[in-house]
Amino acid sequence: MNTAPRAPWMTLDAALQDLLASIQASTRHETVNTLDADGRFLAQDVVSAIQVPAFDNSSMDGYAVRVADVQQTGAELTVTQRIPAGHFGEALLPGQTARIFTGAPVPPGADAIVMQEQTELVPGQEASRVRLLTTPKAGHWIRRSGEDVRAGDTVLKRGQKLGPAELGLAASLGIAHLQVVARPKVALFSTGDELVMPGDVAPADMRPGAIYNSNRFFLRALLHRMGCEVSDFGIVPDRREATVDALKTAAEQNDLIVTSGGVSVGEEDHVKPAVQSLGQLVLWQIAMKPGKPFAYGHVRRDPAKGVAHFVGLPGNPVSSFITFLLLVKPLILALYGASPQSPVPYTLPAHFDLPKADKRREFLRVRRNAQGGLDLFPNQSSGVLTSVVWGDGVVDNPAGQTIAHGDLLQFWSFADWLS
């Protein structure tokens, strides 16, 4: 009988640190049209070749003036030109003003814009003279060349995720195509003879002990949200040979293998030993609840391709869901070359009691209420998937910590996590 003491479980922070230390950013890049780059990750810095704005321009509809000509309210100037956006005007001479529109270049000699609402036409002058109802200061309502972007500025960083604002900024620099990281290729499969796919068997015909495979659906959705190319291997039977074959095949064509189930210590849990036979298991079992039986390692493949990363998620759906957010999402971000940062937590009061502490760090499913506090889902079992539908986030509760009504807690929002 083995009486050796069990190694202590790793903390979540230590596990994440070790996991990320094993990841190198992907070197597979591709060029995409800037119009089609939403949600992609930059493979190289974007450096501006131009200044934005490229020239001094008006930020208002109004009149371009020389401040020296408008030293008192009510000054009258002669309107000598009209400058719409996209056209350059002539230099202003003393006593002259130019009718100007938003975005139009400021004419030489002008050093301020008076907005239209602070002017009036001089009666009887056929719009050739205007009276100014304010005394502007130099630079007023002028957007200076380069005040947004200077030529040579790095405006977007390698590893940055591109969203609507970033695409607009790139377009403002004249960039029609962007170098982005190729989408990670991820193999997904579940293990378990008890698993059945919805649609294959009607609820009334389910055999005793069978359950529908829910993990496959939310894991695939989470991977797609992160821009991954997913190869779905479906359900792999609970046999060592079948598990080894699935891992071998998945490793050859994918950067990452994600499995759910089969990573615990039971006699029917074949994923862990299968990975060890094909590569290396780097970490296993984390001091967190839910999600203790999490595994990470490598599967060997063609030496020219390096190793395929392996993640084994728990079979219980809540455990699988939470560990994906805490550990798999940062891993995928690291493959993109992005900074794998957790969402910023909110500090909110507990509107519940938790008198019994757990020895592990807990992620409790909660929901914000109308009073600004947090309600606790009554059943925190790792198999109760309704808790993550009912809840809008989790409380990060330290190991050994009880909770009393009114205690301030660290709340992580699912909306922020999934963005």
CATH code for the domain in which residue 389 is found? 2.40.340.10
* Contact in structure between 111 and 161 (CB atoms under 8 Å): no
* Contact in structure between 192 and 315 (CB atoms under 8 Å): yes
Angle between helices 240-253 and 271-278 (to 10 degrees): 50
Low-confidence spans in the chain with pLDDT less than 50: 1-4, 267
* Contact in structure between 233 and 196 (CB atoms under 8 Å): no
Angle between helices 329-336 and 12-21 (to 10 degrees): 30
Does some domain include residue 341? Answer: no
Report the Cα 360 to chain-centroid distance in Å.
Answer: 28
**Predicted model pTM:** 0.88
Give residue 296's region: left, alpha or beta (phi > 0; psi -120 to 50): beta
Report residue 240: phi and psi, to 5°. Answer: -60, -45
The CATH number linked to 247 is 3.40.980.10
Q: Which domain holds residue 371?
A: 346-417
Looking at the fold, whether 115 and 224 belong to one and the same domain comes out as no
Looking at the fold, whether 198 and 317 belong to one and the same domain comes out as yes
Does some domain include residue 205? Answer: yes
- Do strands 185-191 and 229-236 pair parallel, antiparallel, or not at all (unpaired)? parallel
- Coil, strand, or helix at residue 183? coil
Q: What pLDDT, on a 0 to 100 scale, did the predictor assign at position 270? A: 78
Looking at the fold, whether 71 and 195 belong to one and the same domain comes out as no
Looking at the fold, whether 389 and 280 belong to one and the same domain comes out as no
How many domains is the chain built from?
A: 4
Q: What pLDDT, on a 0 to 100 scale, did the predictor assign at position 110? A: 98
Of 274, 384, 374, 235, the C-alpha closest to 322 is 384
Looking at the fold, whether 393 and 280 belong to one and the same domain comes out as no
DSSP 305: G
Does some domain include residue 188? Answer: yes
What is d(CA 406, CA 348) in angstroms, rounded to the nearest whole number?
A: 9
Looking at the fold, whether 160 and 213 belong to one and the same domain comes out as no
Q: What is the DSSP string of 77-101?
A: EEEEEEE-TT---PPPPTTEEEEE-
Does some domain include residue 281? Answer: yes
Looking at the fold, whether 165 and 203 belong to one and the same domain comes out as no
The CATH number linked to 45 is 3.90.105.10
What is d(CA 353, CA 348) in angstroms, rounded to the nearest whole number?
A: 14
Amino acid at residue number 149? V
Instruction: Report the alpha-carbon angle 86-89-95, nearest 5.
Output: 145
Looking at the fold, whether 40 and 61 belong to one and the same domain comes out as no
Q: What tokens does 60 get?
A: 């208002």
Amino acid at residue number 125? Q
User: How many CA atoms, within 13 angstroms, populate the side-chain half-sphere of residue 21?
Assistant: 8
Question: pLDDT tens digits for 358-396?
Answer: 999 999 999 999 999 999 999 999 999 999 999 999 999
- Do strands 288-289 and 308-313 pair parallel, antiparallel, or not at all (unpaired)? unpaired
Q: How far is CA 203 from CA 3, 208, 217, 339, in A?
A: 45, 11, 18, 44
| Residue matched to tokens 């089969």 | 262
**Domain boundary pick from 336, 355, 383:** 336
What is d(CA 172, CA 165) in angstroms, rounded to the nearest whole number?
A: 11
Looking at the fold, whether 206 and 247 belong to one and the same domain comes out as yes
Contacts made by residues 223-226, CB under 8 angstroms, sequence distance 24+: 223/186, 223/188, 223/258, 223/332, 225/418, 226/184, 226/329, 226/332, 226/333
Does some domain include residue 5? Answer: no
* Contact in structure between 411 and 348 (CB atoms under 8 Å): yes
* Contact in structure between 79 and 130 (CB atoms under 8 Å): yes
What is d(CA 307, CA 29) in angstroms, rounded to the nearest whole number?
A: 19
Looking at the fold, whether 39 and 162 belong to one and the same domain comes out as yes
Looking at the fold, whether 222 and 305 belong to one and the same domain comes out as yes
- Coil, strand, or helix at residue 91? coil
What is d(CA 58, CA 112) in angstroms, rounded to the nearest whole number?
A: 9
**Domain boundary pick from 113, 143, 173:** 143
Does some domain include residue 6? Answer: no
What is d(CA 41, CA 162) in angstroms, rounded to the nearest whole number?
A: 6
Looking at the fold, whether 21 and 132 belong to one and the same domain comes out as no
Question: pLDDT tens digits for 28-69?
Answer: 999 999 999 999 999 999 999 999 999 999 999 999 999 999
Q: What pLDDT, on a 0 to 100 scale, did the predictor assign at position 265? A: 54
- Count the neighbouring beta carbons within 10 Å of the beta carbon of residue 109: 17
* Contact in structure between 64 and 58 (CB atoms under 8 Å): yes
DSSP 255: S
